[in-house]
Amino acid sequence: MTAHETTSPILEIESLRIALPEGSDRPLAIDGLNLTVRSGEIVCLVGESGSGKSLAAGAIMRLLPEPRVRVVAGTVRFEGQDLSTLSAKQMRSLRGSRMAMIFQEPMTALNPQKRVGWQIEEVLRIHTSLSRKERRARVLEILEQVRIPDPASAVNAYPHQISGGQRQRVMIAMALVLQPKLIIADEPTTALDVTTQLQVLKLIRELQAKFGTGVLFITHDFGVVAEIADRVAVLRQGELVEQGTVSEVLNRPRHPYTQALIAAVPGLNPPAPKSFDTAPVVMRVEGLHKTFKTRGGILAPRRNAVAAVDDVSFELRQGETLGVVGESGSGKTTVSRCVTRLLDADGGSVMLGDTDMLKATRGELRARRRDIQMVFQDPMASLNPRKRVVDLIAQGPIVHGENPEAARSRARELLALVELSPAAAERYPHEFSGGQRQRIGIARALALNPKVIVADEPVSALDVSVQAQVLKLLAELRDRLSLSLLFVTHDLRVAAQLCDRVAVMEKGRIVEIGETATVFANPGHPYTRKLLDSIPGRDWTPPLLAGTAA
C-alpha cells in the first residue's frame, strides 16, 4: 500500500462543491470533497443512496446535467491539469482515451441497436487513426482480455443477446481498450448476481493492476469495499466524513456515521440453531411445480417451456424462519408467488392447516388468505399511491368482513407496533421513506393476524442502515407473535442473520436445505459452496464496535 503513496496522483479533487437545482432537499449535492486517486490504486467512494456519490463521478468527467446541476467551487485536476480550464473539445479527447467510465446497469448503458464490437470500436474510431483492420484486431484482443467466451462471435452480438455479466465485461472492455490512466466505476456490480459479481470484481482488480490504472470505485456495499479497495472515502449527504486505508476504515472506523454503517452490515455467522422439532408444522409444500410457457400463435408452437420451479418441497414450523436463497432465475420468487397462489402452480400441494391452497375454491381461498400474508420487495410499488396509510392497513380486515371503524382503529395500533407514529395514518405512501414504507407493508400483512408471512426480498431495495432496522423489526415481531417466515432473498448475509434454516435454489430446484449454521459452515452442495465463496468481503468480519448499533 505504501507503494501507492510514492506514485504521482492522477486525480486530485479539492474542496469540490456541486449545486443542486432549487427545490431539492438540500442546496449542495457535494460539499467540500477532497479526494486523491494515484495510479495503480483503487479508491472506493462509499455512501448510501442520496449521498451524491454518482454526481461526484459526473463532475470529474464533466458530464453533469448542466445547468441544473453544476460545479460551483473547487478544482478537479487530472494528471496535474485543471479540468475546468479545458475546452469542450479538449475534454472530449480525454474522455474514453485517458479517463473512462463503467456504469451500473450494463443493459441500459449499451446502445441496444448497435453490435457489441461496433460499440467498443467506436472508442478507437473517435480517438485513434487506426485502420479498420487494426481496430477489429484490437477489439478482439480486448474482448479476449476481459475473458468473453468466443470473442469472434461476441463482436457481432447485440447487447440483448448476451448475459448481464458479459455485458458488464463489454463495458469494461470499452473502458479499457485505450488503457486510460483513470477509470471511474459507478456501482459496476450492483446489478449482477453474486457469483458474477465476484468474477467481475476480480477482473477489474486484475486488469487495473496489469495496466497500472487508477480506479475510483463508487459503491454502497461494504462487502465490495472489503473485496476491492486500497483506500476508502465515506460520503454522507454530500460531505466527506472519513477517509483512510481499507483496513483503517473497515476495522477501526472513527466517525460515528461510518461506525453505524459498518455495524449495520450483517455478519456471516448465523445464530446458534434453535430447535423447532416440537413446534407444529404450519405449512407443508410438496412437489411444487411451475413451468412458464411462452404463448405462440398458429405458426409458432409453444417453445422454450422453462421449469421455473421443479419439484420443490419443504415444511415450515410455527415460529420458524426458512430462508429461500438463490440467484436471479433460480425460481425463488416464483415459489413465493405459488405458495400464496398469486400464480397458479402446475402441480404439487401447499398444505396450510388442512387446506391445500393449490386446490382451494375461490371462496376457500379468500378465507384462507388471512393465514398467509406477504411483504413485498419494492416499498414504493407495493403500496397503492392513492390510498391513505390507515386504509391500506385496514383494507384486508375490511375485505374479510370486519367493521371498517374497528379495522381502522386496529390499523392505528399496528402502526405503533411497527414503530411508526400514529400521525402516519392519515398520510399517503409517497410521504414516507423506503424503510418507513416497508414498515407500513409489514403492518398491512399483520392486520389479518396471519400464521405465515412470505417476505419476498423485503430489504433488498433499502440502504444498509435501514435494512438492519427492518430486519430487526421482522425478527422481533416473529418472536413476539410466533409467526412463521418464508424469507426469500438473494443476499446470503441477510439470510445468515435472520433465518433458522435455508433452502438453496438453483434452476428451479432446491439443491440443499438445512439449518443455516450448518449449511454455512459445511455446505454440502458445490453450488452452495460457490455461492458462499462469492459473498463479497467474506473474509472480513465487521468489527464489534462499542457504543453503536443495536
Partner 1 sequence: MSMLNYMLRRLVQAIPVMLIIMVGTFLLLKLAPGDTVDALVGDMGGADPRFIERLRAEYGLDQPVLMQLWIYMTKLARFDFGWSFVHEQPVMTVLMDRLGTTLLLMISSLFFAVSIGSLLGAIAARKAYSLTDNIISTLGLVFYAMPSFFLGLMMIVLFSVKLGWLPVGGIQTIPSFYEGWDYVKDVALHLIMPTASLSLIYLALYMRLMRTSVLEVADLDYVRTARAKGAGEWRLMIHHIMRNALLPVVTLLGVQFSTILGGSVVVETVFSLPGLGELAYKAVIQRDMNMLMGIIFLSSIVVIVVNFLIDLLYARLDSRIELT
Partner 2 sequence: MSVLESEIGTAPPSGWSVMWTRYKRNRAAVLGLVLLVIVLAMAATAGFVEPVDPLRRAGDPLVPPFTDWATPLGTDQLGRDILAGIFHGARTSLLIGIVSTVVAISIGILVGAISGYFGGWIDDVLMRVTEAFQTIPNFVLLLALVAILGSSLQNMIIAIGIVSWTAPARLVRAEFLSLRGREFVEAARNLGVGDAAIIFREILPNALPPVIVFASVIMAISILLESALAFLGLGDPNFASWGNMIGAGKAVLRSAWYCAAIPGIAIVLTVLAFSLIGEGLNEAVNPRQKKS
Site string for partner 1, 169-188 (x = CB under 8 A): --x--x--------------
Member of 72, 126, 305, 399 binding partner 2 (CB under 8 A): 399
- All residues at 6 or more sequence positions from 523 whose CB lies less than 8 Å from its CB, including other chains: 512, 529, 532
374 touching partner 2, by CB under 8 A = yes
Exposure string for 238-266, b = 16+ CB within 10 A, e = fewer:
bbbbbbbebeebbeebeeebbbbbbbbbb
258 binds, among partner 2, partner 1, none (CB under 5 to 8 A by kind): none
53 touching partner 2, by CB under 8 A = no
Give the count of beta carbons closer than 10 Å to the beta carbon of residue 170: 26
Which residues from 309-348 bind partner 1, rule CB under 8 A? none
What interhelical angle do 464-481 and 434-446 show, nearest 10? 20
390 touching partner 2, by CB under 8 A = no
180 touching partner 2, by CB under 8 A = no
H or E element in which residue 435 lies: helix 434-446
195 binds, among partner 2, partner 1, none (CB under 5 to 8 A by kind): none
- What gap in Å lies between CA 420 and CA 412, rounded to an integer? 9
Which residues from 51-80 bind partner 1, rule CB under 8 A? 61, 63
Cell for 320? 420458524
Task: Decide: helix, strand or coil at residue 397.
Answer: helix
Of 23 and 112, nearer to partner 2 (C-beta) is 23
Site string for partner 2, 255-294 (x = CB under 8 A): -----xx--x------------------------------
Smallest distance, Å, CB 21 to partner 1? 14
- What gap in Å lies between CA 494 and CA 483, rounded to an integer? 18
- What gap in Å lies between CA 47 and CA 358, rounded to an integer? 45
Smallest distance, Å, CB 115 to partner 1? 8
Smallest distance, Å, CB 381 to partner 1? 21
Member of 28, 46, 109, 383 binding partner 1 (CB under 8 A): 109
Q: Which listed range, 33-41, 213-221, 392-400, 474-482, lies at the site for partner 2 (CB under 8 A)?
A: 392-400
396 binds, among partner 2, partner 1, none (CB under 5 to 8 A by kind): partner 2
Phi, psi torsion values for 180, nearest 5 degrees: -70, 165
Of 185 and 485, nearer to partner 1 (C-beta) is 185
- Cα 364 off chain centre by: 37
Size of the site for partner 1 (CB under 8 A): 31
385 binds, among partner 2, partner 1, none (CB under 5 to 8 A by kind): partner 2
544 touching partner 1, by CB under 8 A = no
Measured CA distances, 220 to 66, 102, 187 (Å): 25, 16, 8
Site string for partner 1, 89-108 (x = CB under 8 A): ---xxxxxx--xx-x-x--x
- All residues at 6 or more sequence positions from 306 whose CB lies less than 8 Å from its CB, including other chains: 291, 292
DSSP 533: H
Strands 509-515 and 501-506: antiparallel
376 touching partner 2, by CB under 8 A = yes
- What gap in Å lies between CA 249 and CA 375, rounded to an integer? 35
Binding region for partner 1 (CB under 8 A): 61, 63, 92-97, 100-101, 103, 105, 108-114, 122-123, 126-127, 158, 160, 171, 174, 297-300
